[in-house]
Structure 1
Amino acid sequence: MRIRNFFTIFVTIILTTICLYYILSSIDIENYTLKRNNKKTLNLGLDLKGGMSMILDISERDLLRKFSDNSQNFIFLKALQNADEKKKENPNTDYLSFFINSFNQERKNKKLNINLSSPNLFGNQSNSEDIHYNSSDFEVERFLRKKIELSIISIQNILRSRIDRFGIKQPNIQRIKNSNRILIELSGSGIKNMDRIKNILEKKAELNFFETYSFQEIVPYFNTIDNFFKKKYFKKSIIDILNISLIKSSHIVGLVHVKYQKIISDFLNSTGAKNCLPYHLHDVKFMWGYKNLDNFLQLFAVKINDNDEETFLNGNMVTHAYKSFSPLNEISINIKMNEEGSKKWKRFTEKNMGKSVAIVLDNLVYAVPVVKSIISNGMSQIYGNFSIQESNDLINILNTGELPTSIRVVQTDVIGPYLGKESIRRGVISFLIALFFIFIWMFFYYSIPGLYAGVVLFFNIIFILGILISMNAVLTFPGIAGIILTLAMSMDASILIYEKIKENIKNKVFILTSINNSYSLQGALSSIIDGQITTLLCGIILFYFGIGPIRGFSTTLIIGIVISMFTSTCLGRLFLEWHLKKYKKFFLEKKY
């Protein structure tokens, strides 16, 4: 008994001290608000504070192409196409399993002797440590699943870093079950620019440097394909749509209105247009400028050489990006590269002395500077008439590194707060009034033990709030419901124990023996444990399978159940035994 009481007192003092510290340091009592700048605070969810919710889809197709070193095997590409179609029909389908089944079916239909571990698929040099020529499909699938899981974890970390740099506190970023989708919840009524946030999250940060073709080199090609373009598109001239007469810079080959962007892109990438390319332009690729200039987009022509590793510098080679201002107050982005990137940049600038180079991020041209000297220190600058916001966003993307694969936002919702500041204040007051009347009723019905039940309930509230604040948890409407449910279960446990004590006293059992019997498995404890553990298991299942509000409810439910198990069975018993020892008796009769 002494050991049990010592344990109860020790745990109660420690928990109370820690929880009160977190509560008092995070709440502005005068304004009924939470302190924003605290490291530990109770964050309000979207339904209480408002904000933005979005679901991002991770491209497993791009990951598989990456792991296969962009294999052009027709069975591989056909299996990817089949998996894409299945994914459109059912977004929750297991993409990898369907891809492998489709690959095996296509291989069987074509009667070809090719495996997933073939050198031109996943048995390539990049995967040589894990995949061998004779590796089974099961081994390849296990390897791919591991790589995909690691990529998704990496994406979550990069997205969290980008959001943190954006200045949004405590974002909720979680994977939806075991799918390739990520749920992001950003709370705060100040989050208004959805397009800006989507742009930051979707950027892959694939950085490249390309040689460029000049305006004079490309115009003859446009003249050649002009008649072909007129026949295909409403007899309009491609020369007119590209606004050739308005171009004043030698490295810009077109100035296109946004309404013609898709038409120009589709045409220049069509087989017919590519067949008209002269030999000296066989490696040309047309890219758009990143900036919208009064509904016009710049078009650039760059030289693509897939075998030239010197042009490929990805976002992971950037060690630091920062902005600076020129004497004319023009913003520039300064990029510092790692050792590998510095070597490639040195070779590239040495090769292109006096020429224009395109600095490309995620297939958009950000700047086309002229190389005036060999750069050996891994530094480069991007001038692009950036606004402060644009420069900050670009620095954010470059500093957080390259995403392993492309992602896209498939669903977005801007949620207004259901409760305003005044409503929350009134809610707190009404909650305190309700607690007061519960205390009065329990005291009226159970006398002094009822008062102790109220004190136990008060400790419950302190412990739950303190633990939630220490976790930097997000409180939502369902989370509040979970707290209320656990408080009710705590009070119900006290009532079960008191009724069992009353029953024993009526049967002429001594008071101390009645208390001990009621807190035993033969008494009320078995019913309490049964109800609490059943609810706890439900909470764990909801936490594991649920997302968003459901997980918020289950979090507070699990914490509340564990706390109420301790307070109702240990702390409540301590109060009763202490009272009996001090006053030798107490009453559990109704008062009329």
Structure 2
Amino acid sequence: MQNRAVVITLAVVVALLCSYYLSFTLVSRGIQKDATEYARKADGEVDFRKRQSYLDSIWREPVYNFLGAEFTYQEVKNNELKLGLDLQGGMQVTLEVSPVEILRAMSGNSRDPQFLQALQRAREMQQNSQDPFVTLFVQAYEEINPQGQLRDIFATSANRERITFESSNDEVAQVLQSEVDDAIDRSFQILRTRIDRFGTTQPNIQRLPGTGRIQVELPGADDVDRIHKNLTSVAKLEFLEVAEGDEFFPSLQNFIAYLSEHEDDPAIVSIVGQRQRPATPATDGNNPFGEGQENEADPFGDSAADATTTTVGPADSASAAAGDTADLANQLATADTMATDSLPQGSLFFDLFQVTQRGDLFVNVRDTAKVNDLLALPQVRSMFPSNIAFAYDVKPFGDTEEFVTLYPVKRTRGGVASLEGDVITDARQDFGENGQPEVTMQMNATGAKKWKKLTGENIGQRVAIALDNQVYSAPVVNGEIPNGSSSISGNFELQEAKDLANILKAGKLPAPTRIVEEAIVGPSLGREAINQGLVSVAAGLGLVVLFMVLYYSTGGIVSDVALLANVFFILGIMAQPQLGTALTLPGIAGIVLTIGMAVDANVLIFERIKEEIARGNSPAAAIKLGYQKALSSIIDGNMTTLLTAIILFLLGTGPIKGFAVTLIIGILCSFFTAVFLTRVIVEWSVKRGRVPSFETSISRKIFNNVHLNVVANRKKAYIFSGSLIVVGLILMFTMGLNFGVDFTGGRSYVVDFNAPVVASDLKATLTDDFENAGTEVKTYNGNSQLKVTTSYLANDESEEADNQVRAALQKGLSEYSDLNPQVVSSSKVGATIADDIKNSALESVFLALAVIFIYVYVRFNRSWQFGLGAVVALFHDVLTVLSAVAIARVLGLQLEVDQVFVAAMLTVVGYSINDTVVIFDRIREYIQDNPRLRVIDLLDEAVSSTLSRTMMTAVTTLFVVLVLFLFGGAVLKGFSFSLIMGVLLGTFSSLFIAPGLIVDTTKSETKTAVKA
């Protein structure tokens, strides 16, 4: 084989990279185990606060040395193989910014009845439409009031610069849509800041493209009520004076002295731990950082100075921007400075804080929790004036973003800010006269009056702009601002200026978010899922490895080596942080499925090699020809499955996307290992005089001289499939399918009991509590774990409705109190998002079919008979699998049709087309070799010649999907059952339906109507 060295080099490089990335996972697991043991109490329970404290303490400490390169625990966590929520527990929340409230606010809370009616009508329309809410609102308003003008409602004083009494409805709609889009951006920035406070490892937030929704993942989160409150509350924007000079320095010096004298106080030790004192105290009185830390200011770079060069002044004056602020910054840096030469160096204070001559405090990010607890101690709190509070800067700084500024800010009695953000009428990013980015903002009359007083009293001082008590900017006031029109200028990057403008607008309009989809997985359920996944992988891999050896002898051993390498590569690639992927339970299913499908290429190759040996070729020549002739079918089969996986990735969400990522990686890895890696091993073995055997005594006796009469029996096949589809459709229309909440909307709960509970009894109990709404109760993982799904208040996505449904559930469960019922997971899908998920699922299926038709049509020389045969066979597979699910429901097997089920259906499509393309490829080959014969004369022989490969692929895939069905858990029950039916029915359609259609669409009197 040419380029053998390239294959070996690539395999070695990929293996080393995978080992490198997976090593972080091993180190991380070891550290977490150590933390658990450290926090284990005498009774065996784990103190999770103590465990988290342990992990926080080493967050930025080196914990792993790889060939001389040291990695902190933070870097280890960032590089480990991520686990989805279903494998480790936590929360996933999809939020939607409420456009109704934004439009209400922009109208000045208009009470116009037609306006209110249009809002209500648009909300109803949104449940069955994917159009933007503003589009639906305008459409509803024009239907209700055909002659009405939106400018009459929205041309308020707050909007006068953008909406006038001459604006058309289209122009008003553009402004409204712009405000809604800004609100989504604003909410995204706010939530991105908030999620860091939840104490969870590796939180993730992302905007869902094209939906106006925001998805938040919080692994390990358990305080559901607190998270709900933080995610859905309206942002609070404030302007706060920064305490400086004599207002703050004496109190700070008292605090430093107190910490120095009370390091062994039990209250302080409980917060910071027993301190290790330095052997030699620092003696450099002029260095605020202590001896040996002269360069500690350097990591701050220019970031600390930047805070003093940002200024706020009148909007019509740019004199304070850029260069002019440098002199002011220099003056401030030397004024009101602390007497740092008198501070006790080497004390506890300097373990936690760094302080500049001016008195600015910097805290290591990892120490913020300790600092918060210290400042909350009553004896410490009393040292500072009652009007002084503390707020962190929102953005860490330094070369590694290790430090954060702590601002002492002033509040009035009751903790009220000097000025709140509701007075802002507009804010936008602009450019100053020097061309530098700046932010301009306007206030209403009340705000302008207060702003004039505030800026007049703080000339030369800083005013912090804080959102949710986190400081986004602290500009220096360069003059009294009399009219409420201000500009904030300084060392802004363009994006920073845009972000600050968006933050300031958080005080202009209320933009509450509502939870439209939610999944909560308890840690116990996550551990159970991991165990089920590991069992599935191990059992599926073991069965395939054993079967390949029994059927293909030493060739099977070679295939098994490639198979193990394939699994290793998949996990190693998924661990790379650049991909941003996580391993989920459906992802494990993807790996298990890849195990079954990965052997397909080797089966194709080995069967071709056996054919060439049977024709009298030498082993070396047979191996070469086998790899060459199988390549076309392998490429076609992998390409069709890959196209299906890409569609799943582009259109799918949540579990479907995780499954798609794993499948894409698995397909690419299996192609490399099965085609290239095995060939290197086989040819190396031949050169050493050890020719692999590709058959055993078992395989010699199977499929020998088997001849299928596809042409003669095709109509019988049509009748069988048609009957199955008709029965299934009748059952689907009369009984329906068991749709999950992600297709219907509603709420679902998994409840764990100490002993078995009859599902029908619990359903009868809950029916009254759920006010006779649609309710389903079924066993989940054994009879002691039940899944409750209800449509009660399904159209109400408010938190009040969530609490009401949960209370109704708890009331019903109270009758089983002796069995200690525990809700171990829950999920909620709003009616609007359920409709979007259904549409997305349908789009995925039809797009996959269209793409496959085009690929087959082009690949087979634009023969429409091949394309039609493939797509009709795929429709057959989808309908027959759905029919099988409907029949299974009659027989008592309750299978949920949800997003994971759709992933299964598209996997069936990919698997079946793989089978079909291999058979088509052999038909094409026979046509090319026998151009004078009719298709009808060639078809039976072509199909029969691939039968061994078709059945071997089906058997190996069935092994792993049966393992999934038996050991994969309730989440994957519907998925694995669909795949079992898909393998059986897909193999049937590949053998009889698709080839039969080629015969029926080709003119019999023509020697061959299909292009060769």
TM over 0.5: yes
Query: Cα gap change, 1:467/1:80 in structure 2, threshold over 3 Å: closer, same or farther?
Result: farther
Structure 1 residues 179, 434: closer, same or farther in 2, change over 3 A?
closer
The answer for the alignment partner of 1:518 in structure 2 is 626
- Cα deviation digits, residues 74-130 of structure 1 (max 9, x gap): 87x8446513443156446431211222344456334x5x769996599842589xx
- Residue 377 (structure 2) pairs with residue 378 (structure 1): no
Counterpart contact for 1:50–1:417, Cα < 8 Å: yes
Matched, 1:334 2:334: no
2:390 maps to amino acid: N
Corresponding residue number in structure 2 for 1:201:
231
Superposed displacement of residue 43, structure 1:
2.7
AA paired with 1:541?
I
**Structure 2: distance between partners of 1:187 and 1:563:** 29
Query: Paired residue for 1:53?
Result: 92
Which residue among 206, 212, 218 is the counterpart of 1:186? Answer: 218
Distance 1:440 1:337 in 2: 60
Q: Which amino acid aligns with 1:171?
A: P
Secondary structure at the counterpart of residue 547 of structure 1: coil
CA displacement, residues 449-508 of structure 1 (integer Å, 9 cap, x when unaligned): 211111111111111111111135322211110111122111122112111111121112
Contact between 1:202 and 1:408, CA under 8 Å: does it hold in 2? yes
Deviations 1:290-320 (A, max 9, x none): xxxxxxxxxxxxxxxxxxx9xxxxxxxxxx9
Q: How does 1:180-259 map to 2 (within 5 A)?
A: 180-188=212-220, 191-208=221-238
**Greater CA deviation, 30-39 or 574-583?**
30-39
TM-score, normalized by length of structure 1?
0.62
Q: Do the aligned partners of 2:81 and 2:574 also contact (CA within 8 Å) in 1? A: yes
2-structure distance, mates of 1:6, 1:464? 22
CA distance in 2, matches of 1:337, 1:186: 23
Give the CA deviation at 1:336: 8.3
- Contact between 1:501 and 1:514, CA under 8 Å: does it hold in 2? yes
Q: CA deviation at 1:394?
A: 5.2
Unaligned runs of 5+ in 1: 211-308, 310-319, 339-348, 364-370, 383-392
Summarize the alignment of residues 100-499 of structure 1 with structure 2, pairs less than 5 Å apart. 100-105=138-143, 108-110=146-148, 124-125=160-161, 137=170, 145=177, 148-149=180-181, 151-175=183-207, 178-188=210-220, 191-208=221-238, 324=375, 328-330=379-381, 333-335=389-391, 374-376=457-459, 377-379=461-463, 395=469, 403=506, 405-410=511-516, 412-417=518-523, 419=525, 421=527, 424=530, 428=534, 431-432=537-538, 434-471=540-577, 472-499=580-607
Q: Hey, what's the Cα distance between the residues in 2 that align with 1:416 and 1:356? A: 37
Closer/same/farther in 2, CA of residues 151 and 30 from structure 1, 3 Å limit: closer
Aligned to 2:692: 586
Which residue type is aligned with residue 96 of structure 2?
A: D
Structure 2 counterpart of 1:564: 670
Distance of aligned partners of 1:164 and 1:81 in 2 relative to their CA distance in 1, 3 Å threshold? farther
Residues 442 and 497 from structure 1, CA distance in 2 versus in 1: closer, same or farther, beyond 3 angstroms? same
Query: Which secondary structure state, in structure 1, belongs to the residue aligned with residue 688 of structure 2?
Result: helix
Residues 334 and 381, structure 1, Cα contact 8 Å, conserved in 2? no
Distance 1:512 1:433 in 2: 35
Distance 1:381 1:587 in 2: 75
Give the letter aligned to residue 137 of structure 2.
F
Q: Per the alignment, do residues 336 and 153 of structure 1 end up closer, same or farther by CA in structure 2, a change over 3 Å counting?
A: closer
Contact kept? 2:533, 2:588, Cα under 8 Å = no
Percentage of identical aligned residues: 32
Task: Tell me the TM-score normalised to structure 2 length.
Answer: 0.38
Q: Is the CA contact 2:163–2:172 (under 8 Å) kept in the aligned structure 1?
A: no
* Counterpart contact for 1:446–1:588, Cα < 8 Å: yes
Aligned counterparts of 2:420 and 2:414: Cα–Cα separation in 1: 19
Distance change (3 Å), C-alpha of 1:362 and 1:544: farther
User: What amino acid is aligned across from residue 109 of structure 1 in structure 2?
Assistant: Q
Q: How many residues align?
A: 441
d(CA) in 2 for partners of 1:177, 1:506: 56
Q: What SS is found at the alignment partner of 1:54?
A: strand
Conservation of the 8 A alpha-carbon contact between 1:22 and 1:40:
yes
Query: Aligned equivalents of 1:180 and 1:147: distance in 2?
Result: 12
1:125–1:109: structure 2 CA closer, same or farther, 3 Å change rule?
A: closer
Q: Are the structure 2 counterparts of residues 434 and 106 from structure 1 closer, same or farther at C-alpha, using a change threshold of 3 Å? A: closer
Aligned partner of residue 653 in structure 2, secondary structure: coil
**Aligned pair in 2 of structure 1 residues 507, 336: CA closer, same or farther (>3 Å)?**
closer
Deviations 1:311-346 (A, max 9, x none): xxxxxxxxx9996458743396335899xxxxxxxx
- Change beyond 3 A, Cα 1:502–1:354: closer
Larger deviation: 456-465 or 161-170? 161-170
Opposite residue 501 of structure 1, the aligned amino acid is I
Which residue does the alignment assign to 1:226? none
- Kindly state the Cα deviation for residue 590 of structure 1 after the two structures are TM-superposed: 0.9
Pick 1 or 2: higher relative contact order, CA cutoff 8 A, min separation 6. 1
CA contact (8 A) 2:86 2:526 kept: no
**Distance between the aligned counterparts of 1:356 and 1:549, measured in 2?**
44
Answer whether contact 2:88 2:523 (CA < 8 A) is retained: yes
Q: Using the TM superposition, give the Cα deviation of residue 19 of structure 1 relative to its aligned residue in structure 2, in angstroms.
A: 0.8
Give the match's secondary structure for 2:632.
helix
Report Cα offsets for 1:237-279 as digits up to 9, x if no partner. xxxxxxxxxxxxxxxxxxxxxxxxxxxxxxxxxxxxxxxxxxx
Q: 1:116 to 1:485 in 2, by over 3 A?
A: farther
Q: Please tell me the residue identity of whatever aligns with 1:549.
A: P
TM-fit CA distance, 1:543: 1.9
Shift of 1:540: 1.8
Is the 8 Å Cα contact of residues 32 and 425 (structure 1) preserved in structure 2? no
Structure 2 CA distance for aligned equivalents of residues 115 and 577 of structure 1: 78
Distance 2:109 2:529 in 1: 60
Show the counterpart of 2:122: 86
Asked if residue 2 in structure 1 is aligned to residue 23 in structure 2, the reply is: no
Distance change (3 Å), C-alpha of 1:582 and 1:428: same
For the residues of structure 1 that align with 2:653 and 2:642, how far apart are their CA atoms?
17
Within 2, Cα distance between the matches of 1:183 and 1:100? 27
Contact 1:51 1:415 in 2 (8 A): yes
Alpha-carbon contact 2:126-2:136 (below 8 Å) kept? no
